[in-house]
Amino acid sequence: MFLAIDVGNTNVHIGLSADLSSPWTRTFRFSSARDRTADEWHALLDAHFEHLSCRDCQITMCSVVPAITQSLTEYVRQRFETQPLVVSANLPLGIDVATDQPFETGTDRLTNAVAVDARYGRPAIMVDFGTATKVDALDRNGRFLGGAIATGLGVSMDALASRASRLYAVPIEIPRNAIGRNTTSAIQAGVVLGHLKMVEGLVDMARDELGGCETVILTGGNGALFANHSTALGPYEPNLTLDGLRVITRRQQAVSEI
């Protein structure tokens, strides 16, 4: 069995498949509680893994939350009697990390680039609509150049509602018009439609800096909302990070067998 774990700032996304070549048999999410202990992970996860043998499971994780990396690693050691493979810039990713500080670059961003490179080729632009919205670039030589990081859509909505006494959270939907005729549609125009236009602008600039790029892949919790609302943005891949973890595991396994 193969277990992929993507630890984000809002959710821990987990995928389970029969092996490194099979489709995901199940994916599920848990909140990213930073104070959750290994024992609490046992209580949450053990029921989902009752059929898994300790000896037959490969586990790979990428994380942007060190506290959860530690508690989940401890859980994996206890439950599966193995050490998870934790993604870093020094693994055989199949791409070059060309940022100024490779080991400070979010491993979720690198993992998404690996997945897109393996499936769609290069150059490519990855847009991750998570807690932060990230627009990242992979050039035609397979170099991960970096990208742009902005406040995520949900965070923007929450901040507006909490800081403006007469405004409130509204459904996260793309309105038809930029001119809102009531408070709800005005907030949706400013926050949601405005977020889309920001991303489109960043994608256009990244495309120019790459010297052209046809591949723009979306992922992240709010990615589905925007997938069919812009000719500048490509398909939505909800399991993109999990797919990248599988590719990285294959490459690490190939290196280990040499």
Contacts 24+ apart (CB under 8 A), 189-194: 191/153, 191/156, 191/157, 191/160, 192/153, 192/225
108 given a catalytic annotation: yes
Q: Which of 3, 78, 67, 73 is nearest to 34 (CA)?
A: 67
DSSP letters spanning 110-144: HHHHHHHHHHH-SSEEEEEESSEEEEEEE-TTSEE
| Alpha-carbon Rg for the chain in angstroms | 19
Rounded to whole angstroms, the maximal C-alpha distance in the chain is 65
Backbone angles phi and psi of 20, in degrees to 5: -80, 0
Show the DSSP H helices in the chain as ranges.
38-45, 66-80, 107-120, 153-163, 183-187, 194-210, 223-226, 240-257
Q: Among residues 108, 117, 128, 136, which one is catalytic?
A: 108
- d(CA 101, CA 97) in angstroms, rounded, equals 9
Residues 6+ apart with CB under 8 A from 6: 12, 13, 14, 15, 61, 62, 63, 108, 111, 241, 242, 245
Question: Helices H, strands E: what count in the chain?
Answer: 8, 10
Catalytic residues: 108
